[in-house]
Amino acid sequence: MLSHALRAATCGVALVCALAPTAAHAAKPKPAAKLSVSRVGKPPASAETGSTFKLTARVANAKGRKAAAGRLTLSLRPAKGSKTNLKGYAVKSLKSGKARSLSLSITVPATLKAGTYSLVACVRRTGSPSSTCKTAGRIKISVKPAPVPPAPPAPQPPAPTPAPVSADTAKRVITAAGLRRHLDALQEIATFNGGNRASGLAGYGATQAYVVSTLRAAGYTPQVQPFDFLFFRTLATPVMEQTLPTPRSFVEYTDFAQFDYSGSGDVTAAVRAIDINTTPPRASTSGCEAGDFAALQPGEIALVQRGTCDFAVKIANAEDAGAAGAIVFNQGDSADPERTDLFAGTLGVAVGIPSVSVSYAEGVALQGATVHLDTSTRTEERSTSNIIAETPGGDPGKVVLVGSHLDSVPEGPGINDNGTGSAFNLELAVQLAKLGAPANKVRFAWWGAEEEGLIGSTEYVNQLSDAAFANIAMNLNFDMLGSPNHAKLVYDGDFSDSTPPASAPDVNPGSAEIEKAFVDYFAAQGLATEPTAFDGRSDYQAFQDNGTPAGGLFSGAEELKSAAQATKWGGLPNVAFDVNYHGAGDTIDNIDWTAFEQLSQGAAYVTGRYAARTLANAGGGAARAVTAKQRSARAVVKSDWRGSKVQR
């Protein structure tokens, strides 16, 4: 060490140097840190091998220096023999005089022998060769008994065999609750889609999605078959007025009706009668030939009489001759109100002039008058679809086809027409999927664009090959099953109460057997029925036109219930079977639920009957009157009806 003088000389005059301490003044070193277990919780008095218990331990640094990190270890020590080390725990560094508590989870080794052990906790500072220990307490260890193997599971009974499809099982699975579930869904769809489920509009798309998803959930593989059709919509309330000789306003649906597919226009012109016949029996070809319009002056309104040819032909001829509008009046060839009163008509094709219908009496009175017509409409091509699903099992050469149209009119939600038929069809499909395979394949069809003129079902039949068409044993059609002032009507397959339609002069006699099956079922239930004509107003027509047996049920539409029918079925006489037909009131609040359930169960019974029967030929034994090969060559005579409206 340098002396003070030497240090001063070395540091220089201007430099102040700190004097190094002498040995006498050197600081004493701090004692080494020492970790210890200052406290440890008491273990349980006893424990089983494999069990876990918890306790706490406190580690302290009692010396002067900061203790580096350390490790706490636990062990179980018998009175004699080797110890068994347990889990270790890291201890973070501790300043002098500090302590830290640790939460310990201790698992007794499963291999430990029974006996009394001391639980010892030891802590060692990192780098130190020695540990300090503390005994927590004594614990009696017992060996956990070996688990008793579980008893083998009891043998499961074989899965029950599904009940076979039969008339009785098909009827039994149709319940009011199941039917209501689907009608609730259809009502909700209409409510959130402009109040309707019409083809070409959003409500139909949502309805289709509901049916498809329900079928898939039931295990079917539904097919959606798209097709195009002419979409027609009235944009404003049509106007008809007589301006000469006596001014008069006509009331829509009371005095006149606009044709579906009428053109738009606002015209006031003289009325020109075209080859009309008011002398009984009033046979008429008025407007059926272009030459009938020779006297028409361009810009006049043509007045033509119903009869012989389609309305579309009459009005197209009028338009070609230069008419600015067309009025078709009823023929008056009989006392039948259908031939004298106002009628709702359809053209099926677009025309370019305002076109309306009136009664026979109104038409006769309009000769020589001047009339104002104002119509605003839209006709355009849109796309819609059918939905087809069928049972996986059953004879594919004896198909029982159950059909119902899925669309409503644009004016209402269509819950009776035809939500009821569609809901029944869907519930039957869902329930038959739970039964055994039928003897004959059951095919379910939901038709689109029925309200535009039976377009979906007609498209379906037209696109079938001869072989595929020949495999259809029958068509069962269900259109309106819950009319509020209902009837129980069975399609007149034997034509005992009606005239065979002109479109099907050779209707298969199997239709008579189908009618009898329905009549016999309801008679056995103590429920009266009446026949209703195959008049071409629903989707059976395309099948019937081609010789396929057809049948089905109907609860009535706009026709009035007679006093005798009110006695038979209850309800109100001289009131329509469904006063809400094709209107905004056709909602779920206006369904006769008892009638709906009864008719649906009858429909299911007969469907199940034919699904389970051995069918030698279509209709359960009756030979086809028209074979598949003949159907492509025969000249089909059109029905007066095109869906719910007349076309001729």
Spatial distance between the Cα atoms of 145 and 410, rounded to a whole number of angstroms: 77
Higher-pLDDT residue of 265, 22: 265
pLDDT at 623 > cutoff 50: no
CA dist., res. 418 & res. 422, Å (int): 6
Q: Which residues are paired to 301 by β-bridges?
A: 271, 325
On average, the pLDDT of the chain sits at 90
Per the structure block, which two tokens stand in for 221? 């593989």
Span 594-604, average pLDDT: 99
Instruction: Flag whether pLDDT at 7 surpasses 70.
Output: no
CB-CB neighbours of 515 under 10 Å: 24
What pLDDT does 10 receive?
A: 40
Residues contacting residue 111 through CB under 8 Å, at least 6 positions apart: 49
Least confident of 79-83, 175-179, 414-418, 538-542: 79-83
pLDDT category at 64 given cuts 50, 70, 90 is low
pLDDT at 619 over 60: no
CA 60 to chain centre: 73
Structure-token pair, residue 480: 């309106």
User: In angstroms, how far apart are the furthest CA atoms of the chain?
Assistant: 159
pLDDT tens-digit readout, 156-173: 887 788 888 999 999 999
In three-state secondary structure terms, 645 is strand
Q: Residues 244, 371: contact at Cβ < 8 Å?
A: no
Cis peptide before 245 (omega within 30 of 0): yes
| 3-state SS, residue 31 | coil
Catalytic pick among 450, 452, 459, 597:
450
Determine the pLDDT at residue 147.
83
pLDDT at residue number 32 = 66
Q: Please give the structure tokens belonging to residue 226.
A: 């798209």
Q: What is the pLDDT of residues 253-263, one digit of tens each?
A: 999 999 999 99
Running DSSP on this structure, what letter comes out for residue 455? H
Peptide bond into 354 cis (omega under 30): no
pLDDT at 163 (0 to 100):
87
Give the DSSP H or E segment for 430.
helix 421-432
Q: Does the pLDDT value for residue 284 go beyond 90?
A: yes
Spell 40-70 as b/e; 16+ CB within 10 A means b: bbebeeebebeeeeebebbbbbbbeeebbeb
**Mean pLDDT of all residues in 33-42:** 84
10 Å CB burial of residue 320 (0-12, 13-18, 19+) is exposed
Strand spans (E) along 340-488: 355-358, 370-390, 395-405, 440-447, 472-478
pLDDT at 67 over 80: no
- Interstrand relation of 550-554 and 472-478 (parallel, antiparallel or unpaired): parallel
pLDDT score for 503: 55
Identify the weakest region by mean pLDDT among 176-180, 185-189, 627-631. 627-631
For the segment 408-416, the average pLDDT, to the nearest whole number, is: 97
| C-alpha span between 613 and 499 (Å, rounded) | 30
| Residue 194 in this model has a pLDDT that exceeds 80 | yes
If you write DSSP's letter for every residue of 322-353 in order, what string do you get? Answer: T-SEEEEE----SS-HHHHS---BB-SS--SS
pLDDT number for residue 20: 43
Q: What distances in angstroms separate CA 627 from CA 464, 471, 541, 615, 637, one per listed residue?
A: 14, 11, 16, 16, 17
Question: Is the pLDDT confidence value at 596 over 70?
Answer: yes
Report which of 524, 521, 512 is spatially closest to residue 551, judged by C-alpha positions. 512
**Residue 485 has which token pair?**
């002032």
Residue 491 to residue 524: CA distance in whole angstroms: 18
On the question of pLDDT at 14 being above 50, the answer is no
Closest to 59 in 3D by CA, of 18, 32, 92: 92
Mean pLDDT of 401-419: 98
**Nearest alpha-carbon partner for 333 in 252, 271, 279:** 279
HEC letters along 189-224 = HHHCCCCCCCCCCHHHHHHHHHHHHHHHHCCCCCEE
What angle do the packed helices 176-191 and 421-432 form, to 10 degrees?
130
User: Per-residue pLDDT for 409 more than 60?
Assistant: yes
- Per-residue confidence band for 30, with pLDDT thresholds at 50, 70 and 90: low
Q: Residue 507's pLDDT is what? A: 60
DSSP result, 594-638:
HHHHHHHHHHHHHHHHHHHS--SSGGGSPPPSS-HHHHTTS-PPP
Residue pair 472/397 in contact by the 8 Å Cβ criterion: no
> Please, what's the b/e burial string for 527-541 (b: 16 or more CB within 10 A of its CB; e: otherwise)?
eebbbbbbbbbbbbb
Q: Which residues have C-beta within 8 Å of that of residue 414, sequence separation ≥ 6? A: 186, 190, 196, 197, 198, 407, 408, 586
CB-based contact 55:136 (threshold 8 Å): yes
CB 12 within 8 A of CB 38: no
pTM summary value? 0.74
Sheet with strand 46-48: strands edge to edge:
46-48, 132-142, 115-125, 70-78, 84-91
What is residue 95's predicted lDDT score, i.e. its pLDDT? 84
The single residue listed with the structure tokens 């074989």 is 158
Average pLDDT value for residue range 125-133: 84
Among the listed residues 464, 448, 468, 442, the one whose alpha carbon sits nearest the alpha carbon of residue 390: 442
Does the structure show a pLDDT above 90 at 570? yes
Q: Are 477 and 404 in contact (CB under 8 A)?
A: yes
Residue 25 has pLDDT above 50, yes or no: no
| Per-residue pLDDT at 43 exceeds 70 | yes
Which region among 58-67, 227-236, 510-519 has the lowest average model confidence (pLDDT)? 58-67
User: What is the CB neighbour count within 10 angstroms for residue 4?
Assistant: 9
**Rounded to whole angstroms, how far apart are CA atoms 71 and 89?**
6
Name the strand (E) or helix (H) holding 56: strand 52-61
The domains located in the chain, with CATH, are: 35-142 (2.60.40.10), 187-230+381-646 (3.40.630.10), 246-368 (3.50.30.30)
Cα(475)–Cα(508) distance, integer angstroms: 12
Residue 364 and residue 523: Cα distance in Å, rounded? Answer: 48
What is the three-state SS of 523-559? HHCCCCCEEECCCCCCCCHHHHHCCCCEEEEECCCCC
Selected residue with higher pLDDT from 358 and 616: 358
Average pLDDT over every residue of 326-343: 95
Per residue, the 3-state secondary structure of 248-308, as one string, reads EECCECCCEEECECCCCEEEEEEEEECCCCCCCCCCCCCCCCHHHHCCCCCCCEEEEECCC
Asked about 450 being catalytic, the answer comes back as yes
